Amino acid sequence: MRKKIVAGNWKMNKQMEEGLKLTFAIKEANKNLPEELEVVLAPPFIHLYAMEELLKNQPNFFLGAQNCHEEENGAYTGEVSAGMLASIGVDYVIIGHSERRKYCHETDAAVANKLQRAIDNDLNPILCVGEHLEIRNENKHFQYVQQQIENTLFSFTADQMQDLVIAYEPVWAIGTGHNATPDQAEEMHQHIRQTLQDHYSKSFANNLTIIYGGSCKPSNASDLFQQPDIDGGLIGGASLSADDFSAIIQSF
Ligand code: PGA
């Protein structure tokens, strides 16, 4: 069975104490989760070390970073490497989020380099893809997302991509309150799975966890997660509230 993932992307929110309180509240509200369900918390970098302590021995809980640098180390002031993340027990790293593509001008080539760093350091990458509204309006969204996948993934082997997770996040749905409908999300998830099946294999595609992100909240999570190709969610705004995030976790 494919693993299910609900990941909270806190973005640039929560002071340290607030972050630790939120972590504790989420942990307390989500005991005895099914084995195949993973909850990933992706706070700002500086929270990771302290949160690792709090989440120790919590079988369903994993730590994620929101980014890593594309080089292993060196003179890159202000940056954090995949190796550093791995050294403090981080499990997942979000790569290629649309906000980083937009504000930090991350290209597909940089995203591919970051994937390489994640693989080198045994971090599970959560690769974000998704189209802008104009592209959907021109009916080119399938082609666009497929191209993002080809540009970033296809230089890797299936073996290297064993721990990959893909997050489909239509840019027009992120932080807007307007989620993709379950049908819109499902057809893109199917398309992504088919693209990977064509390039790698059917078993690779069938085992790949593909999660949806973009205004996912307690009121729509269950309809989204019931779709056959939607294996969970990457949650922004709603992951900042223990009640909302827990309701989403419990929507399966
Ligand atoms: P949102 O963000 O849930 O606030 O729309 C999702 C994301 O950016 O990962």
Q: Phi and psi for 168 in degrees, rounded to 5?
A: -90, 115
**What is the mean pLDDT of the segment spanning 241-251?**
98
Strand partners, 4: 37
- Residue 174 Cα: closest atom of ligand 1: 5
169 has catalytic annotation = yes
- Compute CA distances 96 → 13, 64, 119, 132, 209, whole Å: 19, 14, 15, 14, 17
Identify the band that residue 248 occupies on the pLDDT scale cut at 50, 70 and 90: very high
User: For ligand 1, atom 2, which residue shows the shortest CA distance?
Assistant: 236
Q: Are 56 and 21 in contact (CB under 8 A)?
A: no
Average pLDDT, the chain: 97
In the chain, the percentage of residues whose pLDDT exceeds 70 is 100
The pLDDT score that the predictor gives to residue 65 is 98
Q: Reduce the DSSP state of residue 59 to 3 states and report it.
A: coil
* Closest residue by CA, ligand 1 atom 3: 236
Concerning whether 105 is annotated as a catalytic residue, the answer is: no
Ligand 1, residues 6, 174, 241: which to mutate, most atoms within 8 A of Cβ? 174
Q: Residue 233 above 90 pLDDT?
A: yes
Confidence at residue 1, expressed as pLDDT on a 0 to 100 scale: 81
Mutation to probe ligand 1, out of 126, 215, 220 (largest number of atoms < 8 A from CB): 215
Percent of the chain with pLDDT over 90: 98
- Give the C-alpha separation, 250 to 252, whole Å: 6
Average the pLDDT over 180-198 and give the result: 98
Per-residue pLDDT, averaged over 198-223, amounts to 98
CA–CA separation, 156 and 168 (whole Å): 19
Which of 69, 169, 186, 191 is flagged as catalytic? 169
The contacts of residue 162 (CB under 8 Å, 6+ apart) are: none
Determine the average pLDDT of the residues in 235-246. 98
Most informative mutation of 235, 239, 240, 248 for ligand 1 (most atoms within 8 A of CB): 235
Ligand 1 center from residue 212 Cα (angstroms): 9
Q: What is the pLDDT of residues 94-129, one digit of tens each?
A: 999 999 999 999 999 999 999 999 999 999 999 999
Question: What's the pTM?
Answer: 0.98
Residues in the chain: 252
Is residue 247 scored above 90 in pLDDT?
A: yes
Query: What residues does ligand 1 touch, defined as CB less than 6 Å away?
Result: 9, 169, 174-175, 213-216, 234-238
Is the Cα torsion angle 223, 224, 227, 233 positive or negative in sign? negative
Among residues 6, 25, 28, the alpha carbon closest in space to that of 14 is found at 25
